Structures are given as structure tokens and as C-alpha cells.
């Protein structure tokens, strides 16, 4: 899509086909209420979802501690030294995130929440039309995100999960395991798949 052609230069791990799928479902969902994203990194997926929210004058809450996952830290596979913060010894994606959101004119429609997703969930009372889970991929982080947020989605709303790899050779298991847990709960049905992005619809 033309409006996303500038996204190539933005740091991140969201494939354009997956991003456009997120945009499409966000466009439908955000007519009914705000959307929440867990795991923004530098804001690539946030821009796909946020652009849809902007079209419907809705909001995207974007939760990220902005200190990166384990695999983003120094010495790991997905480390980017441009994001390294020598003061903390960790990466800091927040300045880059804000710059990217600003460059797509989305500051009014994207509300960054720089905190821990489980703690935020504890006090969260706003019904959500869609939740996108792309936070930590450890078993603990992935299950925490699903367990604490899935009941905040409205009926007929969407749950999107990134990095779902049914074949273990393609990637880590926890996102796939929470996808299975969602289906087995009887509260969600599989709706669409684009590469490693799964879209589920809330049915209860
Ligand atoms: Mg991801």
C-alpha cells in the first residue's frame, strides 16, 4: 500500500504483508473502540495499526518498556547498536519510536505506555476492539500477555498474535502455544493467517 511505502526505512521485524493485514483488521476494529498493542519496539507495527485508528478517529494504546527483549541486548542476534543506551547498558527504543510516530503524524492517535504489560492490565478497565500481542517471546511473557489481556477484548473483536510458528524449525514456541491456548479456550476462532501473523476473532 502506498501510504506505507516509507515504512521500509523504519527499524523493526514486521513484514509488509503482515503489516497490511494488521492495518486491514485495525480499520474494521477501530470503528468499535480503541486498540491495544503489546510490544512496539521502534513503532513499525504501531504505524500500521495507528494509521487505521487515525482514519476512524480512534486510539491505539501502545505498551512497551522500550528496553528491548533479551535477543535485542548487546551480544545477541537482534542487537542494534544504534539503539544502545550506555547509561543503562540496555537498548532504548523510545526516542526512535517517538520519532517514527511523529513522522507519520500519529502522535494524537497513539498513546505510548512505557511500562510492564501485566501491571498495566491489573488496572485496565477500557474495552478493546483488538489486542495485538508481540511482546516478549519467552513462555512466561507470552502467556502473561494472553492471560491478562484476552478478556479485555469485546465480543467479535480481534486478537492478533505475531511470530506464530507451527513448525518448531521456523521459530520459538510460546507465541504458537498462546495461539493454541486461545483456540482451545473456546473463546476465539482462527480467522486469518498471513505468514507468522494470526488473526483470531473473539466469539464469547
Ligand atoms: Mg514480532
Q: pLDDT (tens digit, 9 = 90+) per residue, 17-73?
A: 999 999 999 999 999 999 999 999 999 999 999 999 999 999 999 999 999 988 898
- Residue 161, pLDDT score: 98
**Phi/psi-derived region of residue 195, left when phi > 0, alpha when psi is between -120 and 50, beta in every other case:** left
Distance 10 CA to ligand 1 centre (A): 14
Distance 123 CA to ligand 1 centre (A): 25
Note the pLDDT tens digit of each residue in 66-110. 999 888 989 998 899 999 999 999 999 999 999 999 999 999 999
- Residue 88, pLDDT score: 93
* Overall pTM > 0.85: yes
- Residue 148, pLDDT score: 98
Note the pLDDT tens digit of each residue in 133-181. 999 999 999 999 999 999 999 999 999 999 999 999 998 899 999 999 9
The confidence band for 116, taking pLDDT boundaries of 50, 70 and 90, is very high
Distance 163 CA to ligand 1 centre (A): 5
**Which of these is catalytic: 65, 66, 79, 137?**
137
CB atoms within 10 A of CB 149: 23
The confidence band for 127, taking pLDDT boundaries of 50, 70 and 90, is very high
- Residue 3, pLDDT score: 83
Distance 76 CA to ligand 1 centre (A): 16
Told to judge if 65 belongs to the known catalytic residues of this protein, a careful annotator would answer: no
Amino acid at each position: 500500500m502506498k501510504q506505507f511505502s516509507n515504512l521500509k526505512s523504519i527499524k523493526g521485524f514486521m513484514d509488509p504483508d503482515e503489516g497490511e493485514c494488521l492495518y486491514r483488521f485495525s480499520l474494521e476494529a477501530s470503528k468499535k473502540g480503541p486498540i491495544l498493542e503489546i510490544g512496539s519496539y521502534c513503532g513499525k507495527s504501531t504505524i500500521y495499526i495507528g494509521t487505521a485508528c487515525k482514519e476512524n478517529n480512534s486510539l491505539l494504546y501502545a505498551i512497551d518498556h522500550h528496553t528491548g527483549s533479551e535477543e535485542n541486548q548487546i551480544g545477541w542476534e537482534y542487537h542494534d547498536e544504534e539503539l544502545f543506551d550506555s547509561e543503562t547498558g540496555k537498548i532504548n527504543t523510545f526516542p526512535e519510536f517517538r520519532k517514527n510516530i511523529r513522522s507519520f503524524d500519529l502522535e494524537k492517535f497513539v498513546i505510548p505506555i512505557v511500562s510492564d504489560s501485566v501491571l498495566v492490565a491489573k488496572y485496565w478497565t477500557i474495552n478493546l476492539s483488538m489486542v495485538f500481542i508481540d511482546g516478549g517471546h519467552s513462555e512466561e511473557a507470552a502467556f502473561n500477555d494472553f492471560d491478562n489481556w484476552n478478556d479485555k477484548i469485546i465480543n467479535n473483536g480481534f486478537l492478533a498474535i505475531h511470530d506464530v510458528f507451527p513448525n518448531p524449525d521456523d521459530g520459538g514456541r510460546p507465541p504458537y502455544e498462546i495461539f493454541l491456548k486461545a483456540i482451545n479456550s473456546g473463546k476465539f476462532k482462527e480467522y486469518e493467517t498471513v505468514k507468522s501473523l494470526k488473526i483470531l476473532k473473539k466469539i464469547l
